[in-house]
């Protein structure tokens, strides 16, 4: 993902080396016009194909009839992802921070690079597995491929920046919510444990009611029946509305600020491109 002003810089066509051409095709911010290159469009199509296979394989009627074909297609997609990973690793040297073997190592340990690695490595390593648990685990790991789509979307970068900017406020909100959960579960345990020992006989049992009530889900499978429990339940339900609103307000404010930061970054990149062309 874009991490510095060197990303997305345009290079004149006459000065492009093979590695620079490949880099421009693979790095979303380096492709002229801001759209995805044809190569990246193909990679996105492969990701969507692999996710479709993941879903279809869980249907016994389809897996029994076409399981072998689906596995071969999935292995082929994983092999293509492996080739893509190797080419990205080689082309990453176009960015100064990732040049040389130390720079390549910095590229490898980036979150998006680790996601790219996880998108194909388990499939290739466990290709011949027959154990039911291993196969289910492999299917679960394949779901990580959906995270590859984040490389090609500026919206994902916006969400990441939004959460990063307000992570301390969110942590405080989560800590307050945890305290409210514990207090409400304790109060309902005291009020309802004698009347409903099966559902409120301990604080851990009462925690399920607290979670459902504070998140305003309200399944209705567990509820207080005593007068004290109903009063406490009403108070907890009202508190839950505020608990939901707090992180929503924090995230919305951070989202606006993050949008401004990204707009300024895009302006900077456009200016750098214009200077390079000049």
181 Cβ neighbours under 8 A, 6+ residues apart: 207, 210, 211, 214
Does residue 277 sit within a domain?
Answer: no
Q: Let me know whether 139 and 244 are in one domain.
A: no
- Neighbour-count burial for 183-218, b at 16+ CB within 10 Å, e otherwise: ebbebbbebbbeebeebbeebebbbebbebbbeeee
Q: What is the pLDDT of residues 126-144, one digit of tens each?
A: 777 666 666 666 667 667 6
Indicate if the pLDDT at residue 68 is higher than 50.
yes
Q: Let me know whether 128 and 36 are in one domain.
A: yes
Q: Let me know whether 202 and 91 are in one domain.
A: no
Does residue 8 sit within a domain?
Answer: no
Q: Let me know whether 98 and 48 are in one domain.
A: yes
> Where in the sequence is the domain holding 35, given as residue range(s)?
13-152
The DSSP call for residue 144 is G
Which runs of E-coded beta strand occur in 147-266?
none
Q: What is the pLDDT of residues 153-182, one digit of tens each?
A: 667 778 878 888 899 999 999 999 999 999
Closest alpha carbon to 177 in 222, 218, 216, 227: 216
Q: Residue 9 has what pLDDT?
A: 44
Q: What is the pLDDT of residues 207-252, one digit of tens each?
A: 999 999 988 888 888 999 999 999 999 999 999 888 888 888 999 9
Indicate if the pLDDT at residue 49 is higher than 80.
yes
Q: Residue 32: in which H helix or E strand, if any?
A: none
Judge whether 177 and 202 are in contact, CB under 8 Å. Answer: no
Query: Of 79 and 63, which is predicted with more confidence?
Result: 79
Does residue 272 sit within a domain?
Answer: no
Q: Let me know whether 129 and 186 are in one domain.
A: no
Indicate if the pLDDT at residue 185 is higher than 90.
yes
User: Measured between alpha carbons, how far is 256 from 21 in angstroms, rounded to an integer?
Assistant: 35
Does residue 269 sit within a domain?
Answer: no
Q: How many domains does the chain have?
A: 2
Q: Let me know whether 61 and 122 are in one domain.
A: yes
Q: Is 91 exposed, middle or buried (0-12, 13-18, 19+ CB in 10 A)?
A: buried
Domain-terminating residue out of 152, 179, 205: 152
Q: Let me know whether 22 and 100 are in one domain.
A: yes
Q: Let me know whether 212 and 102 are in one domain.
A: no
Q: Let me know whether 119 and 210 are in one domain.
A: no
Q: Residue 26 has what pLDDT?
A: 86
Q: Is the whole-model pTM more than 0.75?
A: no
User: Measured between alpha carbons, how far is 121 from 128 in angstroms, rounded to an integer?
Assistant: 13
Q: Let me know whether 177 and 249 are in one domain.
A: yes
Q: Let me know whether 225 and 115 are in one domain.
A: no
Does residue 271 sit within a domain?
Answer: no
Does residue 274 sit within a domain?
Answer: no
Q: Which domain CATH number covers 217?
A: 1.10.287.70
Tokens read off for 168: 């301390």
Query: What residue spans of 27-131 are helical by DSSP H?
Result: 38-56, 60-91, 100-108, 111-118, 121-125
Q: What is the pLDDT of residues 4-20, one digit of tens each?
A: 444 444 444 445 688 88
Does residue 177 sit within a domain?
Answer: yes
Q: Which domain CATH number covers 37?
A: 1.20.120.350
Does residue 175 sit within a domain?
Answer: yes
Q: Residue 135 has what pLDDT?
A: 63
Q: Let me know whether 45 and 126 are in one domain.
A: yes
Cα-based distances in Å from 203 to 107, 223, 225, 239:
47, 14, 17, 19
């Amino acid at each position: 993902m874009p991490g510095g002003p060197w990303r997305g810089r345009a290079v004149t066509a006459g000065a492009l080396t093979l590695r620079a051409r490949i880099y421009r095709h693979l790095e979303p911010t380096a492709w002229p016009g801001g759209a995805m290159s044809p190569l990246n469009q193909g990679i996105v199509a492969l990701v969507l194909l692999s996710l479709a296979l993941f879903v279809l394989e869980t249907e016994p009627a389809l897996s029994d009839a076409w399981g072998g074909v689906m596995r071969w297609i999935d292995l082929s997609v994983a092999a293509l992802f492996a080739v893509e990973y190797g080419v990205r690793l080689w082309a990453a040297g176009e960015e100064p921070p990732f040049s040389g073997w130390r720079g390549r190592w910095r590229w490898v340990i980036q979150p998006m690079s680790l996601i790219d690695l996880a998108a194909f490595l388990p499939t290739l390593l466990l290709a011949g597995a027959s154990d039911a648990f291993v196969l289910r685990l492999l299917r679960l790991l394949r779901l990580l491929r959906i995270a590859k789509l984040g490389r090609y979307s500026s919206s994902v970068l916006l969400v990441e920046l939004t959460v990063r900017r307000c992570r301390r406020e969110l942590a405080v909100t989560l800590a307050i919510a945890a305290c409210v959960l514990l207090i409400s579960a304790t109060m309902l345990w005291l009020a309802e444990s004698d009347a409903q020992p099966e559902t409120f006989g301990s604080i851990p049992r009462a925690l399920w009611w607290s979670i459902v009530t504070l998140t305003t889900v309200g399944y209705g499978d567990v509820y207080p029946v005593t007068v004290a429990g109903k009063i406490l339940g009403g108070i907890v339900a009202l508190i839950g509305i505020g608990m939901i609103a707090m992180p929503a307000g924090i995230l919305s404010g951070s989202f606006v600020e993050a949008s401004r930061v990204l707009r300024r970054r895009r302006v900077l990149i456009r200016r750098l491109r214009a200077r390079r062309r000049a």
